[in-house]
């Protein structure tokens, strides 16, 4: 308890309205963020204005560690998807935390390794797989994250829109809608408003693994 109280002192809690741009890729950054409530997307923008979501973060997740660790600039932009409460840790706080509890750095590297794995899968998907397979894999990924405490109700609860799914997959919103309909016709999912219910995870996995 004493340790938790000491750590909590280092963080500053802030509430942000829905769709607040927290920071933009390329700018210097010296805060790490932890999601306490709500959700955040990190994304890269092309000159054309199109965006690609790299990942979504929910309560318990952290982001913004890369600029802090490298002493460099933000590698992507971040925006709240809904009203969110975030905990901010500045550089001196981060240094005090990791000096006193070096195991925090081990935990952070573990998460960075998991993110690199997921980025590798995304690269493979973008090169080798069509939209059906990418959507199937993304739905399974979101479901798996909900199983480990992440709110996959998300699509249901209006947190991930088709627009965001499209940006995660790197395709248009119309393509996402069409592909969701196709998955429904195949009996793999059921669409309930904005909610996508996975009916047959095994067959969805088969679609996810099919190549072009």
Residues that bind ligand CMP (CB under 6 A): 29, 42, 54-55, 63-67, 74-76, 78, 115, 119
Helix (H) or strand (E) holding 212: none
Between 75 and 172, CB nearer to ligand CMP: 75
Compute the least distance from the CB of residue 1 to ligand CMP, in Å.
29
Q: Which is nearer to ligand CMP, 29 or 38 (CB)?
A: 29
User: Which CB, 42 or 165, lies closer to ligand CMP?
Assistant: 42
DSSP structure string for 38-98: S-EEEEEE-TTS-EEEEEEE-TT-EE-HHHHHHTSB-SSEEEESSSEEEEEEEHHHHHHHH
Query: Closest approach of Cβ 60 to ligand CMP, in Å?
Result: 14
DSSP 114-176: HHHHHHHHHHHHHHH--HHHHHHHHHHHHHHHHHTT--GGGGTTTSS-HHHHHHHHTS-HHHH
Q: Report, in Å, the least distance between residue 72 CB and ligand CMP.
A: 8
Least distance to ligand CMP, CB of residue 180, Å: 24
113 versus 210: smaller Cβ distance to ligand CMP = 113
């Amino acid at each position: 308890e004493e340790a938790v109280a000491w750590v909590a002192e280092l963080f500053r809690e802030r509430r942000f309205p829905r769709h607040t741009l927290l920071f933009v890729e390329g700018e210097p950054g010296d805060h790490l963020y932890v999601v306490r409530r709500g959700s955040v997307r990190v994304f890269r923008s092309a000159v054309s204005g199109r965006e690609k979501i790299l990942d979504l973060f929910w309560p318990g997740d952290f982001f913004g560690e890369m600029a802090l660790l490298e002493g460099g600039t933000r590698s992507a932009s971040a925006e709240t998807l809904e009203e969110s409460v975030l905990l901010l840790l500045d550089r001196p706080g981060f240094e005090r935390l990791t000096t006193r509890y070096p195991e925090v750095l081990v935990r952070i590297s573990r998460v960075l390794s998991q993110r690199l794995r997921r980025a590798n899968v995304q690269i493979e998907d973008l090169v080798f797989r069509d939209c059906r397979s990418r959507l199937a894999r993304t739905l399974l990924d979101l479901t798996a994250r909900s199983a480990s405490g992440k709110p996959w109700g998300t699509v249901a609860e209006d947190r991930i829109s088709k627009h965001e799914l499209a940006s995660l997959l790197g395709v248009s919103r119309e393509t996402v809608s069409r592909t969701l309909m196709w998955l429904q016709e195949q009996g793999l999912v059921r669409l309930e408003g904005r909610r996508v219910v996975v009916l047959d995870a095994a067959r969805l996995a088969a679609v996810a693994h099919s190549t072009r």
